[in-house]
Structure 1
Amino acid sequence: MSPVESALILVVYLACFAAVHSLMASLPFKRRAAKILGRRMDPWYPAIFSAFAFVMIAPLVYLVYLFPGDILYVAPSPWRWAMVAGQVLAGLLSIRAFIDALHRFKVPLQLSGPGAAEAKPLAPRGVYRWVRDPFLLSGFLIIWLTPFMTTNILILYAAVTVYLYLGSLHWERRLLAQFGDEYRTYQRRVPRMVPWRGRGWPPD
């Protein structure tokens, strides 16, 4: 298989994954699932969503293993270990971000508008006081701090970068639907991904 063909396979598979993943993350899909399944879906949907994403990502990882492409670089020590340490810290950031905002991931709360009886306040805490989307920041750090690079991995990472950014825009739209004006105020005060000096929550 030629390098162009292997790269095309990776991009097409990633596009299919992105389409399915985005569909399952969308509010219309969740509303339809809630209408069909009722309250039974409330505790299970996040777990099913995560498991499905893992199952779909596994073949992508295998494809990269089969068709890595030409080696572009391998970071020497000690830079290699510094990059790996950065990836570990980024992974811990993702875990912390999930813990700091559990209510953002509960489907019933996502489907309720800001005026609904079951709605909860935005209440930014932890890492969300400094960045709106720590998952975007951690995702970029995890992929671009990989201590080695090949042509197909570079193409894949470039496509993943675009998808993560577009996914962040979708995430913001969903949070606007969930929290309304409270989130708009939060957007004006807190940066999306990179912490800025003097920008944080609550406002001074």
Structure 2
Amino acid sequence: MVSRVLILLYALVSYALFTVSFLYALGFVGNYVVPSSIDKSIDKLIDVGSPAHLSEAIVVNLLLMSLFAIQHSVMARPAFKQWSAKFLPAACQRSTYVLLSSLILLLLFWQWRPIPTPIWQTSGLAAWLLTGVHWLGWLIAFASTHMIDHFDLFGLRQAFLAWRGAEMPSQSFRTPLLYKIVRHPLMLGFLLAFWATPEMTAGHLLFALANTAYILIALRFEERDLIAEFGATYQQYRQRVPMLVPRLFMRRQTGDRRPVGESQ
């Protein structure tokens, strides 16, 4: 019982840290400055912070994003999960993934070097539209986690089942809501949030480009794992539904009622 309680507490702490990192990401990417009267130390955003030499900023920022990409991708692979299962309880694996991802994100926010050179600037209706798309992206990303299983995705469900002494049920395959029009709405939401901005700087562009490249590469590996797990069912899903860009007109098809969840 003690170990079960510890696993549950571990999951709750990991989820709390994810919540902090996600909320900070909203302000970081959107340049929403926290009033200095609250805490001056957290006025560190994608375009706000201490100036740095251009070459230093590019190298440091790319290293930070590479660290996140490597951790995020390596720990998501089935081979790593099998290896880590030798010394890490299955109920802790997702929470550990969430914990490390959140810590690296916070490190990225803390050590990010802004490059404020303007690329584009808009005002009026265009600025309002871009801001709207930006927040739509965050909404899509957050909503997508609930369309599959938010608490499973972030390790709470596994820990709660372990606390109850219950076994994890086998993963099924389904395509709820947005998953019927794009295979990866979570990643689509992130791309919209990263690119839609009324004021694009060189630093923000570097962030958007690097993360877009990572997402496109990572999805190839993720889909390979999904094909290995679900076989022809996922192959047929790939043929019907685009990866990131929804089709304007799609035939109504029946058949697949069994999910896809975003892998780690």
Pairwise CA RMSD of aligned residues? 2.8
Q: Using the alignment, how far apart are the partners of 2:153 and 2:251 within structure 1?
A: 25
TM score, norm. by length of structure 2: 0.64
Cα distance 1:157–1:96, how it changes in 2: closer, same or farther (>3 A)?
A: same
Would you say 1:51 and 2:103 are equivalent positions?
no
Q: Using the alignment, how far apart are the partners of 2:171 and 2:71 within structure 1?
A: 29
Cα distance 1:53–1:154, how it changes in 2: closer, same or farther (>3 A)?
A: same
Deviations 1:33-78 (A, max 9, x none): 223223xx32x433332232222122322344x4323222332133
Stretch deviating more after TM superposition (84-93 or 188-197): 84-93
Deviations 1:133-153 (A, max 9, x none): 112211210100022221122
Write the mapping of 1:133-144 to structure 2, written as runs, cut at 5 A. 133-144=184-195
- Residue 178 of structure 1: aligned partner: 229
Stretch deviating more after TM superposition (27-36 or 159-168): 27-36
Structure 2 counterpart of 1:71, one-letter code? P
Cα distance 1:16–1:90, how it changes in 2: closer, same or farther (>3 A)?
A: same
Would you say 1:98 and 2:150 are equivalent positions?
no
Stretch deviating more after TM superposition (124-133 or 27-36): 27-36
- Residue 254 of structure 2: aligned partner: 202
Whether the aligned pair in 1 keeps the contact of 2:133 and 2:192 (CA below 8 Å) is yes
Whether the aligned pair in 1 keeps the contact of 2:141 and 2:187 (CA below 8 Å) is no
Would you say 1:156 and 2:207 are equivalent positions?
yes
- Residue 134 of structure 2: aligned partner: 87
Deviations 1:102-156 (A, max 9, x none): 298499x9xxxxxxxx544412121111111112211210100022221122122
Whether the aligned pair in 2 keeps the contact of 1:190 and 1:199 (CA below 8 Å) is no
Structure 2 counterpart of 1:32, one-letter code? W
- Residue 112 of structure 1: aligned partner: none
Displacement after TM superposition at 1:7 (Å): 1.0
Would you say 1:147 and 2:198 are equivalent positions?
yes
Structure 2 counterpart of 1:56, one-letter code? I
Cα distance 1:60–1:75, how it changes in 2: closer, same or farther (>3 A)?
A: farther
Q: Using the alignment, how far apart are the partners of 2:154 and 2:204 within structure 1?
A: 34
- Residue 61 of structure 1: aligned partner: 109
Structure 2: 5+ residue stretches without partners: 1-51, 159-168, 257-264
- Residue 128 of structure 1: aligned partner: 179
TM score, norm. by length of structure 1: 0.81
Displacement after TM superposition at 1:158 (Å): 1.0
Structure 2 counterpart of 1:136, one-letter code? M
Identity %: 25
Would you say 1:20 and 2:68 are equivalent positions?
no
Q: Using the alignment, how far apart are the partners of 2:228 and 2:195 within structure 1?
A: 32
Cα distance 1:106–1:90, how it changes in 2: closer, same or farther (>3 A)?
A: closer
Q: Using the alignment, how far apart are the partners of 1:80 and 1:137 within structure 2?
A: 20
Q: Using the alignment, how far apart are the partners of 2:153 and 2:229 within structure 1?
A: 11
Cα distance 1:28–1:200, how it changes in 2: closer, same or farther (>3 A)?
A: farther
